[in-house]
Structure 1
Amino acid sequence: MRLVATVAMLGLLGLSTAHAQGPRGPDRDNDLTDHVQTVADLAAVCDPRVQGMRRYEAIAYCQGFVTAAGQYHALLHPTGGPVRPLYCVPSPGPSVAETGIGFAAWARENPSYAREPALDGFLRYAQAQFPCPPMTPPARRGRPTR
């Protein structure tokens, strides 16, 4: 079931394997708001330093991507669930806008991930920014007394 949900989510985010590996043509280079594939692409639409007529679309795309990725992670890793989360956002956490801006800054500081799929990079960012506390081993049960 999780594999089906993961594949569906990746399809919604436009990150299918064939799509992620295809080249961008000259007509696509300036239109990332509907063709984000890599960490560099997502960072470009999330970067507040980018200006122009398409800035509002870029903000909407960035915030939608961040929201969808966060909600999907929360569904896969509910509080108290059997699977340890990939990252742990404090409460209260940053706003969606702050998260997008933080991701763009992280991507600038980590150019070695620029060509990775956008979702992979976003998860790397979230793990670095919001690490989970160390796991505590379950308490050992002593032998019952007779």
Structure 2
Amino acid sequence: MKTVLAAALLASGVAVFGACAVSPARAAEEITIRTATAGELADTCAANPREPGADARLNFCRGFAQGAIDVEMHHAGEHKLFCFPRPSPTRAETMNQFVSWVRAMPDRRSMPSDEGLFKFLAERFPCK
């Protein structure tokens, strides 16, 4: 089960249909979102809200992160890689910090997306 969920989360390309914000009469257009690496995930999470497809990219970013975190926390048991404080930060805030973390060291861009996300979370929110 974990392998199936992980494979779904790590899909290298996902087609997403986003409605065009410019004209409601235009048909939805397909965009491709790639998140195989931490760099691709960070690029998706850093979408400019004013650009076409940004809503789809930002929603995918946060949904990907939430799904990956849920699977990891479910399987981690007592051996969690990271522990969120209470109250927890928002997804948007956390993923903005992830983008900065990836951009701070170029070698992080090539890490698998889930590995990079979990490494960031472990550094940012260590369990005590």
Q: State whether TM-score is above 0.5.
A: yes
1:67-122 deviation per Cα after TM superposition (whole angstroms, max 9, x unaligned): 10121122113xxx4x3101111111111111211111111112211111111110
Q: What is the match of residue 43 of structure 1?
A: 42
Number of paired residues?
111
1:1-146 to 2 correspondences below 5 Å: 5-15=1-11, 31-33=31-33, 35-49=34-48, 51-77=50-76, 81=77, 83-133=78-128
* Runs of 4+, deviation exceeding 3 Å: 48-51
Amino acid at match of 1:38: T
Determine which structure has the larger strand proportion and give its number.
Answer: 2
- 1:36 and 1:51 map into 2 onto residues whose CA distance is 21
Structure 2 unaligned segments of length 5 or more: list them.
14-30
Assess if the C-alpha contact under 8 Å between 1:66 and 1:99 holds in 2.
Answer: no
| SS class of match (2:110) | coil
Cα pair distance change 1:60/1:114, threshold 3 Å:
same
* TM-score where L is the length of structure 1: 0.68
- 1:110 and 1:86 map into 2 onto residues whose CA distance is 21
Assess if the C-alpha contact under 8 Å between 1:87 and 1:130 holds in 2.
Answer: yes
Who wins on radius of gyration, i.e. which is larger? 1
* TM-score where L is the length of structure 2: 0.77
Amino acid at match of 2:3: V
The percent identity for this pair of structures is 24
